[in-house]
Amino acid sequence: MAKLTLSDSEIEKYSGQLSKILDYVDKLNEVDTSEVEPTFNVMGLSNVMAEDESSSSLTQDQTLANGSETKDGLFVTKGVFDNE
């Protein structure tokens, strides 16, 4: 999911740093939250709906302008399945 490529020296450095951070956040276990509801959004919103209406949007050229590789007006991506 993170999709990061790390070198050996990075792995060594980060594992030390991340352990230290995780030790620190363990402090949260001092708090009794058995009766507490979580807050994911301070406004208490979920599933905000909009009318299903079309409106103006970027043109195809504008949308593709920052793409690393485009072909026939589409983005080129890695294949999901082997082409063979």
Partner 1 sequence: MSDISSLTLVQTLEALKNKKFSEEELNRVYQERIKQLNPKLNAFLQTQENSSGIPAGIKDIICTQNIKTTAGSKILSTFIPPYSATVVNKLLENNVSIAGKTNMDEFAMGSSGENSAFGPTKNPWDLTKITGGTSAGSAAAVAADMCVFAIGTDTGGSIRQPASLCGVVGLKTSYGRVSRYGLISAASSLDTIGPITKSVGDARKVLGWISGSDGHDANCINEKFTMQPERLQAKIKGIKIGVPKEYFGEGLDKSVEKVVRDAIAKMEELGAEIVEISLPHSKYALPAFYIINPSEVSSNMGRFTGIRFGSKREDFGEEVKRRIMLGTFALSSGYYDDYYAKAAKVRTLVKQDFDNAFTKCDCIVGPVSPTTAWNLGEKVDDPLKMYLADIYTISANLAGIPGLSIPCGFSSGLPVGLQILGKYMDEATILDVGEAYEQATDWHLKKPDLSF
Residue 38 makes contact with partner 1 by CB under 8 A = yes
- Alpha-carbon span 11 to 5, nearest angstrom: 10
User: What 3-state DSSP class applies to 80?
Assistant: coil
14 contacts 6 by C-beta, under 8 angstroms:
yes
Other CB atoms within a 10 A radius of the CB of residue 63 amount to 13
Question: According to CB under 8 A, which one of 31, 52, 71, 81 is a site residue for partner 1?
Answer: 31
Q: Give, for 75, the enclosing helix (H) or strand (E).
A: strand 74-75
Contact letters for partner 1, residues 48-77 (x by CB under 8 A): x-x-------x---xx-xxxx------xxx
Residue 80 makes contact with partner 1 by CB under 8 A = no
Residues contributing to the site for partner 1 (CB under 8 A)? 1-6, 10, 14, 17-18, 20-22, 24-31, 33, 36-43, 45, 48, 50, 58, 62-63, 65-68, 75-77
